[in-house]
């Protein structure tokens, strides 16, 4: 049985549809990430699951029971907010225990749960401190401890790490994922950060303009994007989306005369390929006039961004920019002529009309 199920859920206001006919299941004990750009409806969807927003249409089921009209308290879910939402006038101990005191849990049980949870999240030595005496990561642990101590089987998290610096976000991602596995919690986690989604999720629900764009594992979305939006949103740098045109001998990259799909009409097709799957062929010199000879598809270097482990090369191919990820330092100069090459297995072909992956894409022989 699914821990959470949404059936055709819509949230609208006069003149605005924030979430449009969204349906998905969250399996018990899984870590599911709602991913997407700002304004895509992911936080609104989370708030409807929590009961903090009314559902305009559709139904929300929690543990098999229709909770569409239930109050937040009746849903037995915990929530961790982006802003931490901890009380500045209470110390760590009092913040964590606040919910248990409101529900009049016996004092002995409160202390037992507090000791266990404080140890889990590394706050045992900080229980007497006020929030002003804590770092950002420690404040986030307080908010997390308050959610865990309620012992609800489902925890909803709305961009809980966005206020932390990059190093601390990485540390908290590792800790949070390990904690979820140890406790067997069902987590629905909202973020616009694809790194969080790719590194933490069992399942990613990618949203765009209020609708679900694609659902799958991180590998599914990265290796098998169903749409051009998924292809461009997942990955840093993103997948190259190269517009094709029709040439004499087949589909060509727009602005060139080099066929990349022999014998096929290129109109209405988009070629997708990840930057790390493009190889660089350097120009050789031949003949008495030392004329450059290029293997692969000709392109001209625009810039090189050295990142330490690799270099991101930006090149112009026809009238389009192409990103290439090369290992280590790539000794190329601006304006240098290079050739691009790739394997047919690494190529995706999308429809320019629907932005969907074309069913016959794998049957196309893409040459470089």
List 191's β-bridge partners, or say none.
35
Whether the Cβ atoms of residue 103 and residue 115 lie closer than 8 Å to each other: no
Listed residues 233, 265, 294: the one ending a domain: 233
Whether the Cβ atoms of residue 204 and residue 197 lie closer than 8 Å to each other: yes
Virtual torsion, Cα 88, 91, 92, 94, nearest 10 deg = -100
368 found inside a domain? no
Same-domain status, 264 and 286:
yes
Q: What is the per-residue pLDDT across 136-147, written as a single tens digit (0 to 9) for each?
A: 888 888 988 888
Q: What is the mean pLDDT of the chain?
A: 89
Question: What six digits make up the tokens of 90?
Answer: 């209470």
What's residue 293's pLDDT?
A: 62
What pTM did the predictor assign? 0.88
Crossing angle of helices 92-102 and 107-121, in 10° steps, is: 130
CA atoms lying within 13 Å on the CB side of residue 269: 25
Same-domain status, 107 and 36:
yes
Q: What is the per-residue pLDDT across 319-366, written as a single tens digit (0 to 9) for each?
A: 899 999 999 998 899 999 999 988 888 989 999 999 999 866 554 555
DSSP code per residue over 329-346: -----TT-EEEEE--GGG
Domain of 348? 240-363
List 104's β-bridge partners, or say none.
none
Same-domain status, 180 and 202:
yes
Same-domain status, 67 and 206:
yes
Whether the Cβ atoms of residue 348 and residue 221 lie closer than 8 Å to each other: no
Distance of CA 287 to the CA centre of its chain: 51
Q: What is the per-residue pLDDT across 142-174, written as a single tens digit (0 to 9) for each?
A: 988 888 888 889 999 998 888 778 887 888 888
We report the CATH number of the domain holding residue 326 as: 2.40.50.140
| 180 vs 227, residue with greater confidence | 227
What's residue 361's pLDDT?
A: 56
């Amino acid at each position: 049985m699914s821990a959470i199920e949404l059936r055709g859920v819509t949230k609208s206001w006069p003149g605005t549809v924030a979430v449009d006919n969204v349906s998905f299941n969250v399996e018990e004990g899984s870590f599911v990430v709602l991913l997407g750009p700002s304004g895509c409806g992911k936080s609104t969807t989370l708030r409807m699951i929590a009961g903090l927003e009314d559902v305009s249409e559709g139904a929300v089921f929690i543990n098999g029971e229709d909770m569409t009209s239930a109050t937040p308290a009746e849903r037995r879910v915990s929530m961790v907010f982006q802003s931490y939402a901890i009380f500045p006038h209470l110390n760590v101990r009092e913040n964590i225990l606040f919910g248990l005191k409101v529900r009049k849990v016996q004092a002995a049980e409160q202390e037992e749960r507090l000791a266990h949870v404080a140890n889990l999240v590394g706050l045992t030595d900080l229980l007497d401190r006020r929030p002003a005496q804590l770092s950002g990561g420690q404040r986030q642990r307080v908010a997390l401890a308050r959610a865990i101590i309620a012992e609800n089987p489902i925890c909803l998290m709305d961009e809980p790490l966005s206020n932390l610096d990059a190093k601390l976000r990485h540390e908290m991602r590792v800790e949070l994922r390990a904690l979820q596995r140890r406790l067997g919690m069902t987590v629905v986690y909202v973020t616009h950060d694809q790194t969080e989604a790719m590194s933490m999720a069992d399942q990613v629900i990618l949203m765009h303009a209020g609708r679900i764009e694609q659902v799958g594992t991180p590998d599914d979305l990265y290796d098998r994007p169903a749409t051009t939006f998924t292809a461009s949103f997942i990955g840093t740098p993103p997948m190259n989306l190269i517009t094709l045109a029709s040439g004499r001998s087949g589909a060509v990259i727009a602005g060139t005369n080099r066929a990349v799909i022999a014998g096929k009409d290129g109109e209405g097709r988009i070629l997708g390929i990840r930057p790390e799957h493009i190889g660089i062929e350097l120009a050789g010199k031949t003949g008495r006039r030392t004329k450059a000879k290029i293997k692969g598809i000709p392109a001209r270097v625009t810039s090189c961004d050295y990142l330490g482990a690799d270099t991101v090369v930006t090149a112009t191919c026809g009238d389009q920019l192409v990103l290439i990820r090369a290992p280590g330092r790539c000794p190329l100069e601006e304006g240098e002529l290079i050739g691009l090459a790739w394997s047919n297995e690494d190529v995706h072909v999308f429809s320019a009309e629907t932005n969907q992956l074309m069913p016959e894409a794998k049957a196309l022989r893409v040459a470089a």
